[in-house]
Amino acid sequence: MSQRLIVILAIIGITLGYTVYESVKLQDKLSEPGEYYKSNSVLKTLPEVKLKEFNSDKEVELRTLAASGVNVIVHFWATWCAPCEKELPALKELTNQLKDKENVKFLFIAVNDQVKDVLKFLKKYDLSTSKNVLILEDKEFVHQKVFGTYKLPETYVFSANTNLLKRFVGPQEWNSPQYIQYFTNL
C-alpha cells in the first residue's frame, strides 16, 4: 500500500511540476513582444513619419504639424480594443473642452482596423466633427512599431518643438481635472 501511495504522489508531483514549467514558459512568451514588434529605440522626439488620413489619400507629416507651433497628441487605438472603447467618451470630452485651443492637435491613429468598423465607431462617438482631432490609420502596425507601442490604447504628448513630454499606457480618465489642467496648460 505504501508503494502505491508513493507512486501516486510521484505522479501528482511530476504532473504539477510539468504544469508549473509549462505555465512559466507560456508566461515568458506572452510577456515578450513578438519579433514583429521589437524596437530597440527609446522614443524621445516625434518620429519623422507620414500617416494617411483615415479613408483618404491625404497624408499628414507629424513633424511638420508640430513645427507649425502645435503640441501633438498621438493616440493609438482600435475598434477591436475594449479598453479603447471604454475610455473614448472621456477622451472625446477632453477634445471638446480643448476645441478652441489652436496649439493642440489630437491625432487618433486607428491600428489594424477595417474601414467599415472605424466608420461605425466614428459615427457612434462623433469624433470627426472636432476641428482639433485628426483620424489617421496604421493598417499594418508600421507606425505603431516606430513609436514603440505594444499595447492599446497608448498616448504620446509631444511639444511644438517635437520633444516627448508624456506617454500614457493603457486607458486613462481623460476628463478628470488633472488631465484637463495638464492639456489646457500646454
Each residue's pLDDT tens digit, 27-36: 554 444 443 3
Mean pLDDT calculated for residue range 75-93: 92
Share of the chain above pLDDT 90, in %: 38
* pLDDT > 90? residue 2: no
Q: Report pLDDT for 132.
A: 87
User: How far is C-alpha 137 from the chain's CA centre?
Assistant: 12
Element (H, E) at 179: helix 177-184
* pLDDT > 60? residue 112: yes
Domain range summary for the chain, segments of one domain joined by +: 1-32, 42-184
Please write the tens of the pLDDT for every residue from 132-154: 899 998 877 667 778 888 889 99
Mean pLDDT calculated for residue range 79-94: 92
Mean pLDDT calculated for residue range 53-65: 87
Distances (CA, A) of 15 to 4, 22, 28: 16, 11, 20
- Which CATH architecture is the domain 42-184 placed in? 3-Layer(aba) Sandwich (3.40)
φ, ψ dihedrals at 163, nearest 5° = -80, 140
Q: Report pLDDT for 104.
A: 93
Neighbours of 75 (CB within 10 A): 25
Q: Report pLDDT for 100.
A: 87
Mean pLDDT calculated for residue range 60-89: 92
